[in-house]
Chains A and B, each alone.
Chain A
Amino acid sequence: MPQPLVGSFPYDKVKGTAVPKPTRTASEQGYVSEITKGIAVTMTHFFKNTRAMVRGERPDPVVDPMSEGITTLEYPDQKRPYPERFRGVHRLTHRDDGSPRCVACLCCSTACPAQCIYIEAGEYGGKDKRHGYERYPVKFVIDELRCIFCGYCVEACPCDAIRMDTGVHPVPYDSRDQFIYGKNMLLAMASQAGKQKHENPRAEPPDADYGPIERLAGHH
């Protein structure tokens, strides 16, 4: 026996317009003739496409997606190229000597509206040439699942240390922890053009164009 609907909706009081049942012709009701029509349409396209492919007339779906004709993409074997400024997953840039350009200033995590960047700052040791000048990220973690790909982190970074020019869109993984990108993962990524370096050259100790410590240089 059908169960009564939960609650007490006043069906008897509701006024509405009855929608008439569609009427069917004999051929529709007969099934076979309609199916034949459908298969005919499919086969027309099949032969048309096959002919276009054999003759080389089919537009390239990757570079020519707006043309007439069949431009179906065979994803993931074929991929449409992303525009140059497409915001993909992040990467951390390298200095010329391969060390991370990031100075662990937390500007990016401050700007991030999703609060998905976690950084722990460390100090270059007493012997390091950058001692006193730079801090570096001991930990740098981005939760790509939480990230809304707004690019604010890239805007906020004062030293071109973080970029979203990898051209890699967020990949589906099968567990959540795989979306947590650590420092090494981020440093291993490259731009669409394969670059890993930063583009923010700056005089740093002990570069030649970095001035001496004046007192030690004898200006008295």
Chain B
Amino acid sequence: MPSIKLDGKEIPFEKGETIITAAHKAGVEIPHYCWHPGLSVAANCRMCLVEIDATPTRRQLVLDVLAWDEKKQDYVPGRKPKLEPACQVECIDGLVVKSDTSPNVSDARKHVQEFLLLNHPVDCPICDQAGECKLQDYWLSEDKQPKRKTEEILHKPKAVEFGDTIVYDAERCIVCTRCVRFMDEIAKDPVLDKRERGNLGEIFVSPGRKLEGHYTMMVDEVCPVGALTTKDFRFKARVWFLKKVPSICPGCATGCNTWLDYDARTGEVPRLRPRENLAVNKYWMCDDGILTHRRVQEKRTLHAYVGKGKARKEVSPIAALKAAAQLIKDAPGKVAIILSAQRSTEDNFALAYLAKKHLDVKELFLARVGDWDGDDILRDNDANPNVRGAQRGAGDTSLSPLSELAEPVAGQQISVLIALGGEADISDATTVGALGRAKLIAIAANHGPLTENAEVILPAASFAEQDGSFINRQGTEQRFSAGPEPAGDSLAGWDILARLARQLGKPIDWKSFLDVRAAMKAALPSPAAANPESAAAAAPAE
């Protein structure tokens, strides 16, 4: 493989790659603002300037400059290599590039940084980006000098609404045009553009339009500074209080890889961010996916309940487990289960395992929510993250849709249902009637049609609070990790099922998530989950 030498380090590259891309892949960061691995090159910020030595086929540009001479106390003529943007120069085999090791480069970075901050408001204390801002990072690593400009800064519009999700601050904007390019190239809706020049430059929305569609919140993610903020996260948290765990978006069958940011003190999950996975979501997510963080707080079950409608009352988790066990014991042979395309493969496996092994259940149903509008960017029509995982949890038994529930319930073959998840798309009246007639035990994190009809509700942890995995539309199993502690009385889904088994006098000895994984591996040696740890390595199964 051809390679370049960056600060003395061999860096391999593929034909056509720029210096910054090759370095990025090798894990070396060259300071930059406008370059983004997923976007086209604009080369307008000049932060990535590097010094490139001459090669036999490429001469080095040299500039005549006046340099300050400390001894003479005067400017003297000198020569200096012309620096080139690493984000734009293509790699050539054997190219010798100096980045951190060149005093000229350090000098340039310092000046670019000072230039970008010339009219910057530096209102970091009230800026949501503070703590993860490139301006702060590079000021600390490259500049570190107090502001020399004494005049009042140039004022520009602040808190401009760019639509229903995004707020723009022109004073903080460094006009890197990442947001413009994102809307153009990825969201395929070139609704943003730049106007004016020099220090008056600012981003605006096409007249008569607003920033809308499924991919607006990503502009906040690509913005390297605090110029774009989402209304959803604005002023909600300071980022240094947040911890992150790798997670998977539960929004649809695509299964975008995410970072789940949570506040360990309160258990709140104020935002999700995309996590790079070139095989699934590249660098992006859709708005609805980001907003799934609300499911961790909204409509949560939190406590155990027994009874339906007016008779429903909160009970201790153990009392609810006992009530559930009693319902099951009272209806031998008449139990069916409803798996959930919204919950993890492990939870589905746990329920199917309990049902098949100990309850002699024949009929397995699948609850899923309705479709949403997919596109060919990221979103899948299927708004269920784990249809394939639910099927895998059930092994060879096929899953029937909920609409087939009415007949056996009416015919008294089924009188007790154990359902995973509270959400389901139940539109027809007969199914609703069937759910109402049967005695339903719901193991759910969020309230929905299933918990509404439930006789017993057992509060389960949300996707943010338990380890698990989803199998996405490509057939790739993707693991997600537990962030905050389970809220209220909730427990991981498989844990509730293991406890329920104990109440039934048929113990299942799972103590941890890994026990469930091991049991699943032993029970279902299927190649579908060939590569649990790495989504990128698994090939699409379709």
Q: In the complex, are the beta carbons of B155 and A103 less than 8 A apart?
A: no
Tell me whether B158 and A214 are in contact (CB under 8 A).
Answer: no
A132 at the interface (CB under 8 A from B): yes
CB pair A132–B154 under 8 Å, yes or no, is no
Instruction: Say yes or no for A158: interface residue by CB 8 A criterion.
Output: yes
Cβ–Cβ contact A135 & B240, under 8 A: no
The listed residue with most A CB atoms (<10 A of its CB), out of B155, B157, B196, B238, is B155
Min Cβ gap B519→A in Å is: 41
Query: Which residues of chain A are within 8 angstroms of B240 by Cβ–Cβ distance?
Result: 110
Partner of B152, one of A122, A123, A209: A209
- In the docked arrangement, what's the CA distance between A215 and B160, Å? 14
Interface SS majority for chain B: loop
Other-chain contact of A103, B126, B156, B238 (Cβ < 8 Å): B126
Q: Is there an interface contact between A215 and B126, defined as CB atoms closer than 8 Å? A: no
Could you say which residues of chain A place their CB within 8 Å of the CB of B153? 211
A183-220 near B? 1/0 per residue, CB < 8 Å: 00000000000000000000100000111111100011
* Residue contact B152 to A211, C-beta cutoff 8 Å: yes
**Residue A168, interface by CB 8 Å:** no
B202 and A104 within 8 A (CB): no
Cβ-neighbour of B155 out of A121, A135, A213 (below 8 A): A213
Closest residue to B119 on the A side, CB-wise? A214
B149-177 Cβ-contact flags toward A at 8 Å (1 or 0): 00011111111100000000100000000
B234 sits at the interface (CB 8 A): yes
Check if A213 sits within 8 Å of B156, measured CB to CB. Answer: yes
Tell me the nearest residue of chain B to A103, going by C-beta: B126
A215→B202 contact, CB < 8 A: yes
**B182 CB, min distance to chain A CBs, angstroms:** 23
Q: Which secondary structure characterizes the binding site on chain A?
A: loop
Residues from chain B with Cβ under 8 Å of A210 in the complex: 152, 155
Q: Complex formed: what's the CA distance from A104 to B126 in Å?
A: 7
How far apart are B236's CB and chain A's nearest CB, in angstroms? Answer: 8
Across the interface, which residues of B come within 8 angstroms of A211, CB to CB? 152-155
Residues of B near A219 (CB, < 8 A) are 200
Q: Is A131 an interface residue (CB 8 A)?
A: yes
Question: Taking the nearest CB of chain A, how far is it from the CB of B514, in angstroms?
Answer: 34
Question: 5 smallest A-B Cβ distances: which pairs?
Answer: A132-B159, A105-B125, A132-B158, A121-B235, A211-B155
State the B residues within 8 Å of A (CB).
123, 125-126, 152-160, 169, 196, 200, 202, 234-236, 238, 240-241
Given A105-B238, A132-B160, A211-B154: 12 more A-B contacts, CB < 8 Å? A105-B125, A110-B240, A121-B235, A123-B159, A132-B158, A133-B123, A133-B158, A158-B125, A211-B155, A212-B155, A214-B156, A220-B200
- Which A residues form the contact surface with B (CB < 8 A)? 103-107, 110, 121-123, 131-135, 158-159, 203, 209-215, 219-220
9 contacts between A and B (CB under 8 A): A110-B238, A122-B235, A123-B235, A133-B123, A133-B158, A135-B235, A158-B125, A210-B155, A219-B200
